[in-house]
Structures are given as C-alpha cells and as structure tokens.
Amino acid sequence: MAKYRDIADQIRGKIISGEYTVGTKLPYEYVLCVNYHCNKETMKKALDILVKEGLIIRRRGAGTFVKETMLQENINPQFERSLTMRVQGKKEVTSQVVTFEVIPADCFLAEKMQIEEGDFIYHIIRNRSLDGEPYVKEITYIPLRMVPNLKINVLRHSLYDYILNQLHLRIQSCHINITSAPSTAAERDFFGLQKGEPYIQEERITYLTTGSILEYCLSRYHYAHYEFSTILVNS
C-alpha cells in the first residue's frame, strides 16, 4: 500500500475511534509529517483523501478540522444500505447474479478503493427485484482480501448479512454520491426503460470500523421509482 494511503487510514481510524472528535483541529502539517515520518507531499495526498471523503475540512488561515457528519447515533448505516434488511418482513428480495468474477483493479478502481493497481477484487453485477418487480441493478467491487472465499450462493441472498454475521465485520459509514445518466441496453432490458430514458445512480463507498474500504458500489434505479430522504441539521 502506498504510504499516503496508509497514513490516511491511520488518521481516519483516529477520527472514527473518537481520538479526533468533531471540530478538533488537526496538528499542523509539519507536525503530522514528523509524527508519520513522511514528507509534505505525502501528507498532502493523505489529507486530500480525507477531504474528499468528507471527514476533514481545510479552513484558510485557520487549519484543518474534523468535519461534522450527518450520521445519527440511532441510525445503523449497514442496515440502512442493505436492501434485504430494509424490506425484511415487508417484501421478498430476489437476486439474479449476472456477473461474478475476480479481476485486477485498474487505476480508477484502485484510486476509489485506496488499494494498489493490480490488486485482485471481486466484480459483481446483480439484478435485484422486490416481489418480482425490478428494483435495482448493483455493480459492486470488493477487495479479495476483505471477503475471502466468497461463494455465488451468498450473492443470491444477502451479501451484507454474510459480511456482518458470518465474517463479523462492522460497517462504520457509507459515502454516497447521487447522479443520473442515459440508460444503456443493460438498464433498459432490466427496468423496461425506453432508449433515451435515464437511470438514477448511487455511487457508494462503504467503510469498516477499521477505516478500510469494504466496497465500491454503483446502484442503478429506474428514474420514476427512486426516492432518497435525509435529515440536515444546522449545528
């Protein structure tokens, strides 16, 4: 692993554990460089990762601070993002595994998942339906080392249930970016979209309590059936 990514992992871990609390000012960069035995450029790259993740914020002339997050203590992030757990007892989830393979990470995926280019990752595509109606197309990438010996049968059910209850991994947070794009043949075939109609996409990066990235996932929805709710608090 590149040194700047290792440093980002360590600082992220301190934020997640509460060693650096919300609003805390981080040490000056030159102090961090001394503490982590690196040069200024390496530290800048490490902090840039945390800025992009929304964990820290730079304030001109004041320094770098741990950013306020929107997560509430009574919300369990892994249950919020798990389709099977969200609709349990209400609707039946079925999952068709379209693609399940191991591939080397290219430059783009390595950057997104903070791993080395060429590291092996799972590439998974699932078409998921609720009570037989198409709901979401999930394109998921997971580092092989995070979930070794993953079997296709797990993917036909709840991947998160396996991760939480069989591997005993704990999920800390999900960073989500919502966009739209014109549908391709794959989305049109699954959702019944017409040529030119868009899909809504959630780009999601999921972090474990260790600070490591569990998955990079693209969840695509029919534009007419997508709804996203959140709460913004003015601190």
Domain extent, residue 24, equals 3-66
Is residue 68 pLDDT above 70, yes or no? no
Distance CA 59, CA 62 (A): 5
Residue 229 lies in a domain: no
For 19-36, how does the pLDDT look when each residue is reduced to its tens digit (9 = 90+)? 888 888 999 999 999 999
Mean pLDDT of 92-107: 96
Co-location of 122 and 43 in the same domain: no
Query: Which residues have C-beta within 8 Å of that of residue 153, sequence separation ≥ 6?
Result: none
Q: Where does the pLDDT of residue 74 fall: very low under 50, low under 70, confident under 90, or very high at 90 and above? A: very low
Residue 231 lies in a domain: no
Number of separate domains in the chain: 2
Last residue of a domain, one of 13, 46, 66: 66
Any idea what the CATH number is for the domain that residue 20 is in? 1.10.10.10
Distance CA 200, CA 188 (A): 13
Mean pLDDT of 104-108: 96
Is residue 1 pLDDT above 70, yes or no? no
The dihedral built from the CA positions of residue 95, 97, 102 and 103, taken in this order, carries a sign that is negative
For 127-178, how does the pLDDT look when each residue is reduced to its tens digit (9 = 90+)? 999 999 999 999 999 999 999 899 999 999 889 889 988 898 888 778 889 9
Which pLDDT belongs to residue 16? 79
The segment with the largest mean pLDDT, out of 62-66, 84-88, 108-112, 227-231, is 108-112
- Bridge partners (DSSP) of residue 181 are 199
Q: What is the pTM of this model?
A: 0.73
